[in-house]
């Protein structure tokens, strides 16, 4: 071949199918390529800097496990969109299993990246899909700042627990809707306050209604029971 140079060595004393290590250079115009094949392991050791620049697409496919450990800082910037899928159902959505068995590698996959999609949400979007469980542990503080809205949809149970305090603030409106039972428990004191109106209850068994004006309207019945009723 006038446009290709191959450096190849076969596996020594191989039985059955003979493996090989290879570095090849294709110089045909429009098909230039450097191809590397390692029959078993490939290792790199760099004592100082390692840089890579890919002007078009980059695809990685790992058949088993992948680990990254960075002693100092790790920065990533995604100019378009990012999708992270965790779980076996996503396997094969980028690299078809047939490509992983090719001796020539998965170069054909890179050519298909970046093609226009039917649904294009624009740039700056991130999607996270976890098939089963997701856990997050933060040693000190976790803060979220959201420009427009945040929505939760939970199939069964939603719990919030705090070792000290929980605060909700709404500048205009806070709405709760409960289909069956709404239970509020306070160990020492419970207070509802609206302007000068105050309703409070405490663990001593005392209930206080404090307001400039109090109206009680029972369309059918008002039933008050006590050993003693004192009206001022």
Q: What is the DSSP string of 97-125?
A: HHHHT-TT-SHHHHHTTTPPPSS---SS-
pLDDT for position 18: 85
Residues 6 or more apart whose CB falls under 8 angstroms from that of 80 comprise 123, 124
Spatial separation of the C-alpha atoms in residues 26 and 76, rounded to whole Å: 33
The reply to whether 26 falls in a domain is yes
The reply to whether 1 falls in a domain is yes
The residue segments making up the domain with residue 4 are: 1-42
**Per-residue pLDDT tens for 44-103?**
999 999 999 999 888 888 889 999 999 999 999 999 899 899 998 888 877 777 777 777
Cα 95–98–102 angle (5° rounding)?
Answer: 100
How many separate domains does the chain show? 1
The reply to whether 199 falls in a domain is no
% of the chain at pLDDT higher than 90? 72
Decide if 6 contacts 22 (C-beta within 8 A): yes
- Measured on CA atoms in the order 98, 101, 103, 106, is the torsion positive or negative? positive
Decide if 3 contacts 27 (C-beta within 8 A): yes
The reply to whether 24 falls in a domain is yes
The reply to whether 225 falls in a domain is no
Whether the model clears a pTM of 0.85, i.e. scores above it, the answer is no
Spatial separation of the C-alpha atoms in residues 6 and 22, rounded to whole Å: 7
The reply to whether 148 falls in a domain is no
The reply to whether 3 falls in a domain is yes
The reply to whether 30 falls in a domain is yes
Exposure string over 41-67, b if 16+ CB within 10 A, otherwise e: eeeeeeeeeeeeeeeeeebeeeeeeee
């Amino acid at each position: 071949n006038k446009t290709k140079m191959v450096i190849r060595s076969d596996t020594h004393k191989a039985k059955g199918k003979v493996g090989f290590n290879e570095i090849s250079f294709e110089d045909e115009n429009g098909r230039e390529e450097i191809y590397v094949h390692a029959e078993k392991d490939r290792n790199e050791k760099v004592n100082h800097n390692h840089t890579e620049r890919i002007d078009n697409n980059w695809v990685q496919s790992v058949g088993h496990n992948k680990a990254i450990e960075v002693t100092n800082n790790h920065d990533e910037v995604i100019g378009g969109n990012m999708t992270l899928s965790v779980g076996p159902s996503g396997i094969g959505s980028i690299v078809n299993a047939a490509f992983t068995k090719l001796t020539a590698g998965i170069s054909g996959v890179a050519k298909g990246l970046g093609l226009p999609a039917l649904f294009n949400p624009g740039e700056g979007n991130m999607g996270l899909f976890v098939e089963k469980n997701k856990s997050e542990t933060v040693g000190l503080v976790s803060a979220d700042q959201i420009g427009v809205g945040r929505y939760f949809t939970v199939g069964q149970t939603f719990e919030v627990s705090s070792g000290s305090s929980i605060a909700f603030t709404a500048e205009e409106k806070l709405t709760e809707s409960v289909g069956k039972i709404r239970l509020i428990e306070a160990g020492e004191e419970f207070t509802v306050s609206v302007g000068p109106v105050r309703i409070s209850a405490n663990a001593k068994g005392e209930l206080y209604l404090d307001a400039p004006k109090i109206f009680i309207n029972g369309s059918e019945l008002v039933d008050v029971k006590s050993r003693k009723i004192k009206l001022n």
